[in-house]
A and B are shown apart, each in its own frame.
Chain A
Amino acid sequence: GESVGLHLPTLSVQEGDNSIINCAYSNSASDYFIWYKQESGKGPQFIIDIRSNMDKRQGQRVTVLLNKTVKHLSLQIAATQPGDSAVYFCAENMGDYKLSFGAGTTVTVRA
């Protein structure tokens, strides 16, 4: 079964505001995490990743935070734009070459 789950299935955010998407994972031995963005009818697109030896990693308008103590992962999107509307998945490296995905959070950006 899936060991990575998301706290909220949907998120509505005003254009220009910051978005925060949360994810809980259960495998304390996981050492690598990825956030993906999936638009309707397309494959998941890599956004940002983080290894377990880090707490924070920043990309262009995105930041991933990892709290290993409570096994929590979050994705922050700065100045959310209409093009950010999509389903966001967190994924956890379970070892043995496999990723486990959560069910996804649907982000809708309001104009």
Chain B
Amino acid sequence: SQTIHQWPATLVQPVGSPLSLECTVEGTSNPNLYWYRQAAGRGLQLLFYSVGIGQISSEVPQNLSASRPQDRQFILSSKKLLLSDSGFYLCAWSVQNYGYTFGSGTRLTVV
């Protein structure tokens, strides 16, 4: 069966520090991968998606970047965090544009 792993679960980082969140998927090949951000009490905003290794599409201009070094690995990064980067970050995967499955999320607090 397919599983998705996302870590860490919580993270507190100072303003200006770098960020690296990792997501891996098991049990499937060539998934579409996604990074979403959710502000408190709000819906999910798509940040990045990837349909293959090295292929990244950005949905909104921001202080973040994404990379896909391996088929089932998706990384969200920042060189210098801003206060506004705080939020709940969710990784998700799908196959053939159906059945989107989410990870457990990372609560990021920038202080």
Whether A and B are associated in the same complex: the answer reads: yes
Chain A residues at the B interface, C-beta cutoff of 8 Å: 2, 32, 34, 36, 41-46, 49, 89, 91, 93, 97-104
Shortest C-beta distance, A30 to chain B (Å), equals 11
Give chain A's interface secondary structure class: strand
| Given A97-B51, A98-B49, A44:B98 Cβ within 8 A | no
A49 and B98 form a contact (CB under 8 A): yes
Shortest C-beta distance, B50 to chain A (Å), equals 9
How many B residues touch the partner, as a band?
20 to 34
| Complex-state Cα separation, A107 to B6, whole angstroms | 27
Shortest C-beta distance, A20 to chain B (Å), equals 20
Shortest C-beta distance, A36 to chain B (Å), equals 8
B94 and A44 form a contact (CB under 8 A): no
B43 and A103 form a contact (CB under 8 A): yes
Q: Which residues of B contact A99 (CB under 8 A)?
A: 34, 46, 100
A102 and B43 form a contact (CB under 8 A): yes
